[in-house]
């Protein structure tokens, strides 16, 4: 016979090592500790108070898998264990053995939790490709717990990663079962394509820039089939509503900031092809409970460009939902729902594929091998 102890503690996201877990004195009141059905025994679950261990004693030796649950604001990031007598004396993981060559051994689990951090979700039936690492650590409190949601046809697209992936808030797992409803996941790399140069040439390689009174506050222009060409940094002003039958295309030889919403109705079409970075202002967004898109259309940067979502610093605009096609050299996802305590249930960013854009886009953009990219930070 022996004993098992367990407790959950809070650690900083910057250091989730076992040494940090061991040194933490911030216990999680309300954490419930128990063992899975396949464990050597299943004593009654115990609830933690403060920084104190719960104790299961006496308990028979054998293999145990701990199944602890903490309040919904917390995400498990590290599971560490130690033994008082029998080797191995320490390790990591939710499963280990209480061995009894020497009776009276004590197995102690220390579980490190962080407050649930921000994460990103995708959907709409399109594919997602990341040339490097794809990371979105989805909390266990989310339903459905999927990185790529089903489209209207009832199935998701394919998720492809270049170097690695991680969709699990548990640091010891990578979440291959949280990819999508089908868990279609592939490891592949694509050749880098400069979509800015390609589309710029497709539209005729304009040399004369369109004139705007102030590139720092560009209001919605009139609909036209040919793109507006801008040289220099540009910021949109006000909310743009692209009506049914309207087309607004910008080719920006510089950086673009979206200062307001961009929304489409019916066959309305918008595209921003940028030879630099695209930044969504913090004021562009919506309530955490809303899945209505704040930006719609096609957004393309150069291979060295970054698509940035900005921080959730404006009340009521914390979440960013984009619908369309998004292609960038990298993505800097900065939204965070911590201030409204919703990271445990809702993604801070949601990107939805819109295949209708493939139908309403002008001929000059057709037959371009665009892959919808979402590269996690």
Question: Per-residue pLDDT tens for 104-154?
Answer: 899 999 999 987 789 999 999 999 999 999 999 998 778 999 999 999 999
Exposed e or buried b for every residue in 249-274, given b needs 16+ CB within 10 A? bbbbbebbbbbbbbbbeeebbbbbbb
Alpha-carbon gap, residue 47 to 52, rounded angstroms: 10
Q: Does the structure show a pLDDT above 90 at 103?
A: no
Q: Are strands 159-161 and 128-130 parallel, antiparallel or unpaired?
A: parallel
- Region 83-103 average pLDDT: 89
3 state DSSP class of 177: helix
% of the chain exceeding 90 in pLDDT: 84
DSSP annotation of 213: S
Handedness of CA 236, 325, 377, 75 (dihedral sign): positive
- The secondary structure element, H or E, covering residue 75 is strand 74-83
199 token code pair: 């589309």
CATH of 2-115, one of 3.40.50.150, 2.60.40.10, 1.20.1300.10, 2.30.29.30: 2.60.40.10
Handedness of CA 368, 263, 282, 342 (dihedral sign): negative
Alpha-carbon gap, residue 10 to 111, rounded angstroms: 9
Tokens 């801070």, residue located: 348
Enumerate residues 6+ apart whose C-beta is below 8 A from 291: 321, 350
- Region 9-28 average pLDDT: 92
Mean pLDDT, the chain, whole residue set: 93
What pLDDT sits at residue 258?
98
Enumerate residues 6+ apart whose C-beta is below 8 A from 32: 45, 46, 47, 48, 68, 69
Query: What are the helix (H) ranges across 120-253?
Result: 195-202
Chain region(s) in the chain for CATH 2.60.40.10: 2-115
C-alpha radius of gyration, the chain, whole number: 25
Which residues is 254 bridged to in the sheet? none
pTM, rounded to two decimals: 0.77
Q: Does the structure show a pLDDT above 70 at 225?
A: yes
CB-CB neighbours of 201 under 10 Å: 10
Q: Does the structure show a pLDDT above 50 at 377?
A: no
Are the CB atoms for 116 and 141 separated by under 8 Å? Answer: yes
Q: pLDDT: is 367 or 128 the higher one?
A: 128
% of the chain exceeding 70 in pLDDT: 95
Q: What are phi and psi of 339, to 5 degrees?
A: -65, -25
């Amino acid at each position: 016979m022996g004993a098992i102890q367990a407790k959950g503690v809070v650690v900083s996201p910057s250091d989730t090592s076992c040494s940090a877990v061991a040194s933490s004195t911030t216990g999680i009141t309300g954490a419930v500790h128990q063992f899975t059905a396949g464990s050597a025994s299943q004593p009654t679950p115990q609830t933690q108070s403060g920084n104190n261990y719960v104790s299961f004693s006496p308990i028979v030796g054998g293999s145990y898998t701990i199944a602890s649950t903490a309040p919904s604001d917390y995400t498990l990031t590290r599971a560490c264990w130690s033994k008082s007598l029998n080797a191995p004396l320490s390790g990591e993981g939710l499963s280990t053995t209480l061995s009894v060559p020497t009776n009276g051994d004590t197995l102690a689990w220390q579980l490190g939790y962080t407050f649930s951090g921000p994460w990103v979700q995708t959907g709409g039936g399109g594919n997602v490709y990341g040339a490097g690492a794809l990371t979105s650590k989805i909390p266990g409190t989310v339903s459905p717990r999927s990185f790529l949601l089903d489209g209207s046809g009832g199935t998701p697209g394919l998720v492809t990663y270049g170097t690695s992936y991680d969709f699990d808030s548990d640091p010891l797992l990578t979440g291959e079962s949280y990819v999508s409803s089908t868990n279609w996941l592939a490891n592949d790399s694509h050749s880098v394509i400069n979509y800015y140069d390609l589309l710029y040439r497709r539209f005729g390689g304009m040399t004369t820039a369109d004139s705007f009174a102030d590139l720092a506050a560009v209001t919605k222009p009139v609909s036209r089939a040919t793109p507006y060409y801008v040289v220099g940094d540009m910021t949109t002003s006000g909310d743009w509503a692209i009506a049914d039958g309207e087309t607004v295309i910008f080719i920006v030889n510089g950086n673009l900031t979206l200062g307001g919403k961009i929304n489409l109705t019916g066959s309305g079409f918008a595209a921003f092809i940028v030879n630099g970075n695209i930044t969504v202002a913090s004021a562009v967004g919506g309530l955490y409970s809303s899945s209505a898109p704040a930006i719609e259309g096609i957004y393309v940067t150069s291979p060295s460009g970054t698509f940035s979502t900005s921080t959730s610093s404006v009340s009521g605009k914390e979440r960013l939902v984009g619908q369309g096609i998004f292609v960038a050299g990298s993505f800097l996802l900065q939204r965070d729902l911590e201030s409204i305590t919703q990271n445990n249930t809702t993604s801070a960013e949601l990107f939805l594929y819109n295949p209708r854009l493939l139908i309403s886009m002008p001929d000059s953009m057709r037959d371009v091998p665009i892959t919808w990219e979402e590269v996690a930070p």
